[in-house]
């Protein structure tokens, strides 16, 4: 069996990206949207398995049902490892004392503290709004 080359997709500006590329992507956060930076770990084609009712699965070229899947039942997926850099800090929380009470400053506002966050890989279900982080410099 021959090894397949990694898939390459194109961002909304026409810049190609593949495994190892640093990208920006939108992420929901507390009712708002932020921009998150991440490194692409995997790209694959998914099909909606309407025969076995298993939902979206990785495309299998040996499976006749996958080969015959209509365009509306196909999509690309991108697995990303977040770098921790984003447009909104995600590693702050309200400071609490030893009794679990919120610590407040002299004006009564809650104090915030920074903490370490474990950034787990995520799978992007919508890839049309990905932006390549470094597309060879600035454009005129």
Low-confidence spans in the chain with pLDDT less than 50: 1-2, 140
| Residue from 122, 134, 23, 37 nearest 79 by CA | 122
pLDDT at 140: 44
Confidence (pLDDT) at 3: 53
The whole-angstrom separation of Cα 72 and Cα 47 is: 9
What pLDDT digit, counting tens, does each position of 21-45 carry? 999 999 987 788 899 999 999 999 9
Q: What predicted TM-score, i.e. pTM, was given to this entire model?
A: 0.75
Give the tens place of pLDDT for each residue, 74-86.
899 999 999 988 8
12-19: list long-range contacts, CB under 8 Å, 24+ apart.
12/128, 12/129, 12/130, 12/131, 13/131, 13/132, 13/135, 15/132, 15/135, 15/136, 16/132, 17/130, 17/132, 18/43, 19/43
Q: Look up residue 127 and give its DSSP letter.
A: -
Look at residue 136 in the predicted model and tell me its pLDDT. Answer: 61
């Amino acid at each position: 069996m021959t090894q397949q080359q990694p898939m390459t997709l194109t961002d909304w500006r026409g810049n190609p990206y593949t495994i190892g590329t640093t990208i920006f992507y939108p992420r929901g956060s507390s009712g708002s949207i932020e921009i998150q930076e991440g490194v692409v770990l995997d790209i694959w084609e998914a099909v909606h398995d309407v025969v076995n009712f298993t939902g979206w699965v990785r495309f299998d070229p040996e499976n006749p049902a996958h080969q015959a899947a209509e365009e509306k039942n196909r999509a690309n997926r991108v697995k990303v490892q977040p770098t921790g850099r984003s447009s909104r800090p995600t590693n702050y929380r309200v400071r609490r004392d030893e009794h679990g009470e919120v610590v407040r400053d002299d004006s009564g506002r809650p104090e915030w503290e920074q903490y370490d966050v474990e950034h787990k890989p995520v799978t992007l279900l919508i890839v049309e709004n990905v932006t390549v982080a470094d597309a060879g410099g600035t454009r005129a």
